[in-house]
């Protein structure tokens, strides 16, 4: 019984950690897209 509980706790920790990583990746991806768009606009206006 103790082993099952330990396993579940480990799974919960891994799931929580994965969720955190996904959130960070989503945020970074969002900032990356915004940065690319802004840079593209700057280059576009600098050329014209």
> Residue 11 and residue 9: Cα distance in Å, rounded?
5
41 burial type by CB count under 10 A (0-12 exposed, 13-18 middle, 19+ buried) = exposed
pLDDT in tens, 1-48: 789 999 999 999 999 999 999 999 999 999 999 999 999 999 999 998
Domain map of the chain by residue range? 22-48
> Residue 6 and residue 45: Cα distance in Å, rounded?
58
> Residue 40 and residue 32: Cα distance in Å, rounded?
12
> What local confidence, expressed as pLDDT, does residue 2 receive?
84
Angle (CA) 34 40 45, round 5°: 125
């Amino acid at each position: 019984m103790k082993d099952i509980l330990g396993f579940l706790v480990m799974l919960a920790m891994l799931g929580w950690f994965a969720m955190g990583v996904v959130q960070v990746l989503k945020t970074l991806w969002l900032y990356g897209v915004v940065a690319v768009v802004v840079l593209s606009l700057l280059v576009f206006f600098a050329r014209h």
